Chains A and B, each alone.
Chain A
């Protein structure tokens, strides 16, 4: 049985449907990220799991117990807030002790847990400071520590890195993952940053307009997006329409696309069907014969060059390790059948 089971959770705010029948099972010790653009419902789902919002329909189970109608203070979850939400009038130590005192744990137990977490999070020197005397990274660690001392069944993160600068974000991201593994915590993490989601998660739930577009591992989300939304949101895929012409029975099929007839892996799509297809910019085999294009924009990115190319009047993105291609150059490129992914049907 999963540590968390979300079954058909729906949430409406008046006429607005924030979540539509979301189901998800999270295993003990798993790190699952809710990913999506602003307003997709990821924070609403997190607040439903933590108990701050009651679902319109559906059920939440934590550790096998139905907690759908339990208030947050009675759930075995701990939430790390985007704003850190530290108690400004309490010292770091008192912030860490707050939840443990609510639980009415013994003095020795409280001291032991706080010592353990403060050592792990390197907060020992800050224990008598007030939150406004700490840097953003330190406040983030206190927020994390305050959740960790509770030893919850589930730890929830609501965009905890969004207020940190890029360098600190990378560092704290690694720290969060290390601590989650050390404590074998089941974690649900909310972010709109796809790089963060791919780097940290065991699985990612891609949400769009309150629906789960795809629930999968980062690798599969990237390599085999299920919808054009996922393909476009995870990385930056080229999406186009194609009509399946024929299948050769040996695992390949031919597809007519705006950039020409391409070979793709046979996904069981019948001839005549019109589907959306995607391919990743870095999968373009530049210099290989096949497709022709003119470079309209070039952006050097360090370890690769990002090119916008015009192919028959439509613009696509391709990436290459070469740095000798200039705007206005004509290039040829090919796409391998395995790199073309079938998405949803058109119409």
Chain B
């Protein structure tokens, strides 16, 4: 490629790609720079590793990293586990399938905060769930279900919110597999599980990877579900970042922000590789 041609391509890409790179680059640059003490909003700016060393030494940071990864990974896994059978079920149109598909995708239209408040109302001490369980005689008295220690509420909300997105991606991928290919597998003796494992999974692995990575990144950086329904004894990375910022400690907030970006990047890559390895397993 000649220099002139390379320059032409670069110029043509500039309006779109350039803008994206400039915006992302600026944010990343500022975050990284602030994490090293530069661009101080509250005082003097000077390069320092102190913010990294202080923040990473904090127990709260360590807990937030582990907690956010926990929520991110499990949300992604639960979402695709629920979405896969639904995508296979809805693969071929049948009476009512469009309505079912629309209902399943409805959570995409509900804002996360609204969903979290609704959920809290249902599981609260005097909420619907407690009333029903007591009414049925299953529970003797009301139970405290809000802000549980294992973040089950957050995981339920994340899965509820993200499953439709995984369903969208997986339905497209599953529908792209021809009937003949699945029939051929069946004709060659493959039952439902073998057809899923040896044909559907390997042929939909790209959709699965996309769904898992996007859900993981979103859930890893969760703030609203965690604030409303999350455990009170630990914070997510986003919550910790906002806490630092609230105290005027922008540099530590930047350390958490950069860590979150790095975890999102590495975690996504690991999830994508793991998904490919598991789902693309050849006939061994």
Contacts and interface: CB of A to CB of B under 8 A. Distances in A.
A79 B187 contact: yes
B202 A50 contact: no
Interface in B134-187: 178, 180-181, 183-187
A89 B203 contact: yes
Contacts of A74: 189
A85 B183 contact: yes
Given A88-B203, A102-B190, A146-B188, A52 B280 contact: no
Interface stretch (B69-77, B191-199, B266-274): B191-199
Interface in A80-109: 81-83, 85-90, 94, 97-99, 101-103
B59 interface: no
A137 interface: no
A101 B198 CA distance: 11
A101 B187 contact: no
Interface residues of A, number: 27
A146 B180 CA distance: 14
Given A89-B202, A90-B283, A99 B188 contact: yes
Contact of B183 (A77, A81, A86, A103): A81
A78 interface: yes
B111 interface: no
B181, B183, B188, B203 pick with most chain A CB within 10 angstroms? B188
A114 to B, nearest CB: 12
Nearest to B183: A52
Contacts of B188: 73, 78, 98-99, 102, 146, 150
B183 A90 contact: no
B283 A72 contact: no
Contacts of B187: 50, 52, 72-73, 77-79
A79 B185 contact: no
A290 interface: no
Nearest to B280: A89
A134 to B, nearest CB: 16
Interface string B195-221: 000110011000000000000000000
A258 interface: no
Contacts of B186: 52, 71-73
Interface in B260-284: 280, 282-283
A324 to B, nearest CB: 52
Contacts of B202: 89
15 contacts: A72-B186, A73-B186, A77-B187, A78-B187, A81-B184, A82-B180, A86-B184, A87-B181, A88-B203, A89-B203, A98-B188, A98-B190, A99-B189, A101-B283, A146-B184
The list of the 8 closest CB pairs from A to B, nearest first, reads: A99-B188, A102-B189, A85-B180, A85-B184, A89-B202, A79-B187, A83-B180, A81-B180
Given A85-B178, A87-B198, A146-B188, 7 more contacts: A73-B187, A73-B191, A81-B180, A90-B282, A98-B185, A98-B190, A146-B184
